Amino acid sequence: MDTTNIVETMIGQHRLLQKDLGLVAEELKNDEPDSSKIDKLLKTFAKDLGEHLKLENDTFYVELLKKMKEKGQDTTKTEEFIDQMKAIGDAVMAFLGKYSDGSSITDNMTDFRSEFVSIVETLNMRVEAEESGVYLYWK
53 inside domain = yes
Torsion angles phi and psi, residue 138, rounded to 5: -60, -40
Number of domains in the chain: 1
DSSP codes, 48-113: HHHHHHHHIIIIIHHHHHHHHHHTT---HHHHHHHHHHHHHHHHHHHHHHHT-SHHHHHHTHHHHH
In a domain, 118, yes or no: yes
The per-residue pLDDT for range 86-105, each reduced to its tens digit, is 899 899 999 999 999 999 99
- Separation CA 24–CA 42 (nearest Å): 7
**What pLDDT does 137 receive?**
81
Contact status, residue 78 vs residue 64, Cβ threshold 8 Å: yes
Amino acid at 88: I
pLDDT of 20 reads 98
SS3 1: coil
Q: Is residue 94 part of a domain?
A: yes
CB atoms within 10 A of CB 67: 14
Residue 1 counted as domain residue = no
pLDDT given at position 1: 67
Tell me the whole-structure pTM to 2 decimals: 0.92
pLDDT along the chain (139 residues), means of 10: 89 97 97 97 97 94 94 94 91 95 96 97 92 86
Containing domain of residue 123, as a range? 6-137
Q: Decide: 85 and 129 in contact? Cβ < 8 Å.
A: yes
Q: Tell me whether residue 60 is in a domain.
A: yes
